[in-house]
Amino acid sequence: MIIKPELVPPNRDGYLKITEIFLSLQGEASNSGRPTTFIRLTGCPLRCTYCDSEYAFFGGQWQSFDEILEQVKHHGVPFVCVTGGEPLAQKRCLQLLTKLCDAGFKVSLETSGALDVSQVDSRVNKVLDLKTPDSGESERNLWSNLEHLHSGDEIKLVINSQSDYIWAKQILEQHQLTQKAEVLFSPVWEGVSPRQLADWIVADKLPVRFQLQLHKVLWGDEAGR
């Protein structure tokens, strides 16, 4: 049963505002290619220029933890990705992450890096998206988050231009990112040429992983919808 938005007050304990819950292939990070249940929370305080999930900024439906877990179990796969929008914009996201881990799921969190991750359950694989200048939101990066990464966490930098790439290289060295987590460089979909980014990485022998958004390669703009 879906709870109608008007029936659940925004401050009601035990509920989250959900844009969608669906089964697909994970398209990014270390679990790329695995069948995964996605829980897309509604809302985001950022407005990145290349955002591909603007439909998650508003709307959504209030659902209880039990309803969310029931849908996740129904999809029948062990991998769950909590995403947005910015999932941590809803404080009760932290409780959801813990409940998913307690239920035995292998949980990943896709977060912008602009909100504090220090209280995220240590069993969760955090994929921290450091914002590059072309995103228009690089000033929102919360650099203290880098101190709260654990083994298995990942740092993603989405590259849209050569200036983004140069900035990312500087940040890579300045913050010793590869000592904190695996680092992923990803081209903006229909932005910088994937081959160009790959050539830059190879030429500079960067200790990062190049990644494409697999779901976009397979399904284009329909991915995740």
pLDDT digits (tens, 9 = 90+) for 52-97: 899 999 999 999 999 999 999 999 999 999 999 999 999 999 999 9
Its pTM stands at: 0.90
DSSP assignment letter at 54: G
Could you tell me the two tokens for 187?
A: 């081209």
Q: How far apart are CA 153 and CA 138, in angstroms?
A: 20
Domain containing 38 — which CATH number? 3.20.20.70
Helix (H) or strand (E) holding 187: strand 182-187
pLDDT at residue 2, as a whole number: 40
- Total domains in the chain come to 1
Q: How far apart are CA 37 and CA 60, in angstroms?
A: 17
In the predicted structure, residue 132 carries a pLDDT above the cut 90:
yes
SS3 of 99, please? helix
85 preceded by a cis bond (ω within 30 of 0)? yes
Full domain range(s) for residue 25: 5-222
Which percentage of the chain shows pLDDT scores above 70?
92
Do the bridges between strand 79-83 and strand 106-111 make them parallel or antiparallel, or are there none, so unpaired? parallel
